[in-house]
């Protein structure tokens, strides 16, 4: 009888180890799935690019719709009920030969307009701080690096167009980085 009990105990131990290994494998797969659900790293455009970014996959002849997944250098022209309308922008150099210039959108009548809902978990990086807007909070590329709340972003979208790198993923704006221009 004692031999039978040892084998039963050994079998139970082996089954427990198998169950533990199965659970560990399931958790590992779950972790991979969770990582895959995060926002992928998109290649950003040149911050001060002098041409409008092309979008060959977008049909502008139909209704206003989200841009395909990626990063757009643009600005929000209208915000209402959680949806932002935005246009691509380009940098126009000052004719005096200096490094100064300004951003400009497409000419009047151009149909390059997108509209996307702003994600409830949008990552907003301000170039001028969250509340005071006094000192620049930018990295070496003049892109905002101070993380601020979504309500600050919404209030700024409603105020006036700000140049930014706008990241769209699955049809929603998930990241908004202001571009600093003195």
pTM over 0.95: no
- 148-173 pLDDT, tens digit per residue, is 999 999 999 999 899 999 999 999 99
CB 103 within 8 A of CB 75: yes
Q: Dump the DSSP string for 54-77.
A: P-TT--TTSS--PPPSEEEEEEEE
Question: 91 with 15, same domain?
Answer: no
Question: 34 with 103, same domain?
Answer: no
> Among 28-42, 47-61, 63-77, which is the least confidently predicted range?
28-42
Measure the CA angle with vertex 53, ends 102 and 172; round to 5°: 100
Whole-Å CA distances, 154 to 110, 130, 160: 25, 12, 11
Q: Distance (Å, rounded) from C-alpha 102 to C-alpha 85?
A: 21
Question: 81 with 163, same domain?
Answer: yes
- Cβ neighbours of residue 14 closer than 8 Å, sequence gap 6 or more: none
CB 121 within 8 A of CB 110: no
- 84-143 pLDDT, tens digit per residue, is 999 999 999 888 777 789 999 999 888 888 899 999 999 999 999 888 777 888 999 999
Strands 172-178 and 114-126: parallel
Question: 166 with 106, same domain?
Answer: yes
End-to-end Cα, the chain, rounded Å: 87
Question: 6 with 91, same domain?
Answer: no
pLDDT band (50, 70, 90) for residue 28 = very low
Question: 13 with 84, same domain?
Answer: no
Question: 163 with 82, same domain?
Answer: yes
Average pLDDT over residues 9-15: 52
Q: Does 145 or 133 have the greater pLDDT score?
A: 145
pLDDT reported for residue 174: 96
Task: Residue 8: give the domain boundaries.
Answer: 1-38
Question: 74 with 33, same domain?
Answer: no
Question: 172 with 82, same domain?
Answer: yes
- Does residue 109 lie within any of the structural domains? yes
How crowded is residue 83: how many other Cβ atoms within 10 Å of its Cβ? Answer: 15
- Does residue 56 lie within any of the structural domains? no
pLDDT reported for residue 9: 53
> How many structural domains does the chain have?
2
């Amino acid at each position: 009888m004692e031999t039978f009990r040892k084998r039963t105990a050994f079998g139970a131990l082996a089954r427990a180890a198998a169950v533990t290994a199965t659970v560990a494998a399931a958790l590992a797969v779950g972790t991979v799935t969770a990582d895959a659900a995060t926002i992928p790293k998109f290649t950003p455009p040149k911050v001060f690019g002098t041409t409008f970014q092309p979008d060959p996959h977008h049909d502008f002849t139909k209704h206003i719709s989200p841009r395909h997944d990626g990063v757009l250098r643009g600005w929000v022209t209208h915000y209402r009920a959680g949806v932002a309308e935005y246009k691509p922008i380009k940098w126009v150099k000052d004719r005096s030969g200096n490094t100064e210039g300004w951003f400009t959108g497409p000419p009047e009548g151009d149909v390059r307009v997108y509209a996307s809902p702003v994600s409830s978990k949008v990552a907003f990086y301000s170039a001028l701080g969250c509340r005071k807007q006094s000192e620049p909070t930018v990295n070496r590329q003049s892109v905002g690096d101070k993380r601020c709340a979504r309500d600050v972003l919404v209030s700024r979208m409603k105020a006036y167009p700000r140049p930014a790198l706008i990241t769209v993923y699955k049809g929603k704006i998930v990241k908004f980085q202001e571009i600093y221009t003195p």
